[in-house]
Amino acid sequence: MAEQSANGKPARQLVIAPNGSMSVGQAQWFFIGICGMSIIVAAMVAWQVLWLVLPFIALEMGVLGAGLYLSIRDNGYREVVSVYEDTIEVDAGRGRPERHWAFPRLLTQVQLLAGRGRNAPSRLLVTRSGRGCELGRCLTDEERAEVAGRLRKWVRAPVLDPASDA
């Protein structure tokens, strides 16, 4: 959460991001280590005339590399919610804003809907007149409820006073 002034307008800003446990460098070193150990074991087994293990090791390393790539790529996803005196803006994307929504602050609703099933995650929506966007898919239900409470408070506040923020 941050407070800023854009074009002289006070704003509150909330950045929603997945909990990425590994950086790109850490993922690269992990991949190199696992590949190195697997190649050593595969070479020892292949030396015993069981060379058929080599294609399977290559397949395993390819699947591991693809999984690490997808995981790291998803760590770059961000949702930025900016609440200004008269508008609410949401930008979402990886590395740069790929999608943008803007809502007038008046009559905009922040809704936290229960999941469709017993174990389904809740949904956090920012809507006005039937159109809107879903936020926080990468969050847990508890985090989504906290974000919903904070956004409701910001949207309903008559004036964006930095001293009243909690």
Measured between alpha carbons, how far is 87 from 81 in angstroms, rounded to an integer? 11
pLDDT tens sequence across 84-130: 888 889 999 987 888 999 888 888 888 888 878 888 888 888 888 87
Question: Could you tell me which CATH number the domain at 2-18+76-164 has?
Answer: 2.30.29
The 8 Å CB, 24+ separation contacts for 43-46 are none
Spans of all domains in the chain: 2-18+76-164, 24-75
Beta bridge partners of 83: 12, 88
pLDDT tens sequence across 20-51: 888 889 999 999 999 999 999 999 988 888 88
Beta bridge partners of 77: 94
